Structure 1
C-alpha cells in the first residue's frame, strides 16, 4: 500500500436493510482509519479494478447468500481473486445460544462455503442480523427457541463487527481512528 491511500469497495446484498447498515458501518470505520471507501449495493457495484481491497457482504436466506450476491461472485470470480478480499454474511446462526444452536450456528452452510472457497477471501465472518417475530410461523418460532434463540429484534453484535473491521484496517496498514463511527 505504501503512502498512497488504500481504496476499498464495500459491496453488499441486503433483504431488509440489516446488511446495508453493517456495510455502511464498515465503510465509515475504514474511512475513519484513512481509507478511501465506496459503499454500494451489489446491483450498483463499481468497477473493481481501481480498488486495492474489497469487502463483500450478504444476507443469508435458505442457507445461502442472496442470489444477487452469489451471481456477482460467480461473474467476477477471477477479478475478485486479484484483490485483497473479505467476505461476511448476516443471518440467524450466530445468534443461536443453545447447545445445539451453537453447534449449528457455527457451521458454514455448504452453498456459502462453496462460494467463499471459489474466491478465497482473507477472512469470512458470519454476523447475526435482525429476526423479528411478526410474520414468523409458530413452528419456525418453536424451532428458533429450541435451537437457543434467546430473543427477537436486532441481534447484531456491534463490538464483534468493529473487531472484525479492525482486522481489515490492520491488514491494510491503516492509521488509528481518531473516533469510532457509531452504528445504527
Structure 2
C-alpha cells in the first residue's frame, strides 16, 4: 500500500530574486524528503486548501512584506489558519552587525507582525538577502554602513535556511532527505 505524500505549497513574493531562490531551495529540500511541493509566486499561487501545509515568504521593502504576499494572505486568511503555516521574510536586518544593527535585526516591523498574526504561523524567520552597491545612492550606502551593513553582495545564510527547513520537515514528520539540494 502506497502512503500519501505530504502536500506543501511554498508561496513567495520577490523583488529582485533572492526570495524566489530561497523558496526554490526550501521546495527542493522538502521534495528530497518525499513531500509533494508546489513553489509559486503569490500572484499565481494555488488555493491553499489543496495543501497539508503552506510556507509563505516575501522580500521586505519599507519595513513591510511585498503587497502580492500581503494580498494572498488577506484573501486566504481563513484557509491558512486551518493548516500549518510557516512564514519567512528576506531583507537586510538579519545581516546587520554591531549594536545598532543587531537591535534593528531583531525587530519585527508592525506591518510584518500584523500579517504574521493574521495567520498565526508555527514559526516566523527573517533571513538576509542579496544587497548590491550598484544603483544605490550615496546616502543609502552611508546609512547602510552606519546601521551595521557588513558588506555588499549575497548576504544569505544558507546554513540558517537549511536548519529552518529541516525543522519544518521534522514538524511535518517527513522522512530523511533522499538527496541533498544545493543552494544557488
Interval of TM-score (by shorter of Structure 1 and Structure 2): over 0.9
What is the DSSP-based 3-state SS (H/G/I as helix, E as strand, rest coil) of the residue aligned with 1:16? coil
Contact 1:15 1:59 in 2 (8 A): yes
SS of the aligned residue for 2:103 comes to: helix
Give structure 2 stretches of 5+ with no counterpart.
none
Normalised by the length of structure 1, the TM-score is 0.97
CA distance in 1, matches of 2:74, 2:178: 38
Residue 157 of structure 2 aligns with which residue? 157
- The equivalent residue for 1:97 is 97
> What are the Cα deviations for residues 85-110 of structure 1, in whole angstroms up to 9, with x where unaligned?
00000001001011101001110111
Indicate the SS of the match to 2:127: strand
TM-score for both structures, normalised by structure 2? 0.97
Deviation at 1:178, TM superposition (A): 2.8
Query: CA–CA distance in 2 between the matches of 1:28 and 1:40?
Result: 13
- Contact 1:24 1:39 survives alignment (8 Å): yes
Partner of residue 64, structure 1? 64
Q: CA deviation at 1:47?
A: 1.6
Contact persistence 1:28–1:181 (CA under 8 A): yes
SS at 2:87's partner residue? strand
* SS at structure 2 position matched to 1:49: helix
Q: How does 1:17-56 map to 2 (within 5 A)?
A: 17-56=17-56
Counterpart contact for 1:53–1:83, Cα < 8 Å = yes
Match of 2:134 in 1: 134
Contact 1:12–1:20 at 8 Å: present in 2 too? yes
Partner residue, 1:75: 75
Q: Does 1:15 align with 2:12?
A: no
Q: Which SS does the other structure have where 1:136 is aligned? A: coil
| Residues 98 and 146, structure 1, Cα contact 8 Å, conserved in 2 | no
Runs of 4+ aligned residues of structure 1 deviating over 3 Å after TM superposition are none
Structure 1: where are the runs of 5+ without partners? none
The alpha-carbon deviation at position 4 of structure 1 amounts to: 2.3
Aligned residues: 182
Between the aligned partners of 2:91 and 2:39, the Cα distance in structure 1 is 20
Aligned residues: CA RMSD:
0.8
